[in-house]
Amino acid sequence: MDSIYLGNSGLRVPKYILGTVPFSGTNGFDAAGNIDEKTARRMVDMSLEAGINMFDTANLYSKGDAERVLGAAIKGRRDELLLTSKTGFPLGENPNARGASRSNILTSIDQSLERLGTDYLDLYFVHLWDGQTPVEETVETMTSLVKSGKIRHWGVSNYSGWALARTFTVAEQSGFIPPITQQIYYTPEAREAEYELLPAGSELGIGSMIWSPLGEGLLNGKIGRNKQAPSNTRQGAGWPEPWVQNQERLYQVIDALEEVAVNHNASVPQIAYAWVRDRPNVGPIVIAARNEEQLKENIASFEIQLTQEEHDRIESVARPVAIYPNWHRAMNSFDMGSTSEKTYLAGYKQSMGIDD
């Protein structure tokens, strides 16, 4: 497994990270999986053997129970691995137990550390943008956690481009420690992150970590034009996310993935992982599995190398619409674009029928 630097930091992380949404499966997360401590321990073993030494969780997942299961699975080998967690989603009736406020962050970190059985996290995320809390309060609090040793680095998740830039700028100009990564949703079907988030991350030195490259189960190979999601999967068990812009567009993506999968004697999820992994501006990706067999298959996708033709086949069917100012820039000032965005601008030109 390759390791890469995460954003503009000295932290090296594996290209694949194991996510823990399926751990526990309690408190409303039963559709995501029900991995117990024994199976989780085996999954940690398999991951470490493959060179995946980073594990991603959140206090939201099973409302803390996923952290507890992960904590039990890593007991006695904390120094072998990297841990992340997140806070921000409301978990109860307490109006201060939510968002990116000092109160919530300081309370949440202590609770997560206790559940995980550790005294520090390698990476701690604000799980969602909190437009009601001053950015200065958030970045100062995260900086204090780094300086106290409770966390090594911090990041943000599910931010818009302007919120990401504002957070980074406030931290840097105020002498605080800026985030080193953003965790964002990006799949062969959901490509909105190409408009701003992916190039912004590269320009700011903020690594882009991808959550749910399989579209929260949409690209699990069990869904298609004539295939309904089985009841033992997230999408078949009433999972509310993600929002799909166009069902036909989703099927076209699945068709392309299936075609390429045949070429490699691989599965649809393996091809989806390989495609997202190799996209420009993409850092590590968070993989997940409901059982050991799935985990083995997902890890094996790291060895799949797509041809340029195969990559383009998948890319072309779900290329984002060239919304303003992208169509204007692709038409009139392509050569003035940043390196981080030229791949996307070139795609817009192709969609618009503009010759070089």
> Known catalytic residues?
61
Q: How many residues does the chain have?
A: 356
Rounded Cα distance between 288 and 299, Å, is: 10
Residues of the chain with pLDDT under 50: none
Rounded Cα distance between 216 and 272, Å, is: 12
Q: Where in the chain is the domain with CATH 3.20.20.100?
A: 3-314
Q: What local confidence, expressed as pLDDT, does residue 3 receive?
A: 97
| Closest C-alpha among 23, 40, 41 to residue 32 | 23
Rounded Cα distance between 250 and 324, Å, is: 24
Rounded Cα distance between 223 and 217, Å, is: 9
DSSP 3-state of 132: coil
Rounded Cα distance between 90 and 99, Å, is: 7
Structure tokens at 336: 């003035």
May I ask the CATH class of domain 3-314?
Answer: alpha beta
